[in-house]
Chain A
Amino acid sequence: MFRYIYNKLKYSGFLKTMSNAGEQELIESKDDIELKTITGSLQSDLELIREVMGTSPDIKIHEFRYGENCEFKGAIIFVDGLVSNEIITDSILKPLKLYRNFNNYQQDSIQQTLDTVKQTIICAGEVTEKHTIGEVVESCLSGDTVFISDGFDKALVISTKGWEKRSINEPQTESVVRGPREGFTENFRTNTALLRRRIKSPKLRLDHLTIGEKTVTNVCVAYIEGVADPGIVETVKARLKSINTDSIIDSGYIEQFIEDHPFSIFPTIGYSEKPDVIAGRILEGRVAIISDGSPFVLTVPMLFVESFQSAEDYYIRPFFASLIRVLRYVAFFLTVTAPAIFIALTTFHQELIPTTLLFTISAAREGTPFPAFLEAFILVMSFEILREAGVRLPRPVGQAISIVGALIMGEAAVAAGLVGAPMVITIALTAVAGFVVPEQMDSAAIMRIILLLLASILGALGIALGLLGILNHIASIKSFGIPYCTSLTFHHNMQDSYIRMPLWSMSKRPKGIASKDITRTNMEIPPSPIYANIPDNK
Chain B
Amino acid sequence: MKKALRIIAAAMLILSSALISGCYDIVELDTISIVTGLGIDKADENGKVQLTVQVGKADAVGGGGQEGGEASEKAYQNLDSVDRNIVGALDKLLQDNSRTLFLHHNQVVIFGESHAKEGISDDIDALMRDLHSHLNVFVLISETNTSEIFNVEMELEKIPSVGITRMMRNKTEISEAFRVKMLELISKLSDDPCTAVLPIIKQVKEQDTTRLSIQGLAVIKDGKMVGKLTEDQAKGYAWALGKIKSGYLPVNTDKGTVELSIKPPSREMKVSFDKEGIPKIKIGIKARFIIGQIIGFDGLQLEEIIEMIQKESVNAVKDIIISCFKETQRLNADIFRFGCYLNKHHNKKWKKIKDKWDQIYPNLELELTVETQIIDTGKTSKSPKMVGGRLA
Contact = CB atoms under 8 A, between A and B. Distances in A.
By CB atoms of chain A within 10 A, which of B28, B34, B59 has the most? Answer: B28
A358 B162 CA distance: 13
Interface stretch (B61-69, B168-176, B226-234, B288-296): B61-69
Contacts of A12: 1, 3-4, 7
A373 B27 contact: no
Interface stretch (A231-239, A344-352, A402-410, A501-509): A344-352
A18 B35 CA distance: 59
Contact of A355 (B1, B3, B26, B36): B36
Contact of B34 (A14, A358, A459): A358
Contacts of B19: 373-374, 377
Interface string B1-37: 1011001000000010011001101111110101010
B62 A360 contact: yes
A76 B64 CA distance: 81
B63 A364 contact: yes
Contact of B105 (A347, A350, A368): A350
Given A355-B36, A358-B34, A366-B58, A347 B66 contact: no
A362 interface: yes
B157 to A, nearest CB: 11
Contacts of B3: 11-14
B7 A362 contact: no
B104 interface: yes
A8 B7 CA distance: 8
Interface string A435-456: 0000000000000000001001
B339 interface: no
A365 to B, nearest CB: 4
Nearest to A370: B28
Given A346-B29, A355-B107, A456 B61 contact: no
Given A347-B22, A359-B61, A365 B30 contact: yes
B1 A13 contact: yes
Nearest to B103: A351
B286 interface: no
- By size class, the interface of chain B is 20 to 34
A469 interface: no
A355 B62 contact: no
A347 B63 contact: no
A365 B59 CA distance: 9
Interface residues of A, number: 36
Nearest to A11: B3
Contacts of A282: none
Interface string B93-123: 0000000001011010000000000000000
Contacts, number: 103
A457 B30 contact: no
A365 B27 CA distance: 12
A458 to B, nearest CB: 6
A7 to B, nearest CB: 11
A11 B7 CA distance: 11
Contacts of B63: 360, 363-364, 366
A371 B28 contact: yes
Given A371-B22, A453-B18, A359 B28 contact: no
Contact of A421 (B65, B104, B105): B65
B65 A350 contact: no
A350 B104 contact: yes
Contacts of A362: 29-30, 32, 34, 58, 62
B62 A361 contact: yes
B134 interface: yes
Interface in B106-146: 107, 134
Contact of A348 (B7, B26, B102): B26
Contacts of A368: 30
A38 to B, nearest CB: 51
B56 interface: yes
By CB atoms of chain B within 10 A, which of A8, A11, A362 has the most? Answer: A362
A9 interface: yes
Contacts of B102: 350
A179 interface: no
A366 B107 CA distance: 22
A363 B23 contact: no
Given A371-B28, A372-B29, A457 B22 contact: yes
22 contacts: A12-B3, A14-B3, A347-B22, A348-B25, A350-B105, A351-B134, A355-B36, A355-B107, A359-B61, A359-B62, A360-B61, A360-B62, A360-B64, A361-B62, A362-B32, A362-B34, A362-B58, A363-B58, A363-B61, A367-B30, A373-B19, A459-B23
Interface of A: 8-9, 11-14, 17, 346-348, 350-351, 355-356, 358-368, 371-374, 377, 421, 453, 456-459
Interface of B: 1, 3-4, 7, 15, 18-19, 22-23, 25-30, 32, 34, 36, 56, 58-59, 61-66, 102, 104-105, 107, 134, 162
A-B interface, 10 closest residue pairs, ranked by CB to CB distance from nearest: A363-B63, A363-B62, A351-B104, A360-B62, A359-B62, A12-B3, A362-B58, A365-B29, A363-B58, A362-B29
Given A351-B134, A363-B62, A367-B30, 16 more contacts: A347-B28, A348-B27, A355-B162, A362-B32, A363-B63, A364-B66, A365-B30, A365-B58, A366-B30, A366-B59, A366-B63, A372-B28, A372-B29, A453-B15, A456-B18, A457-B22
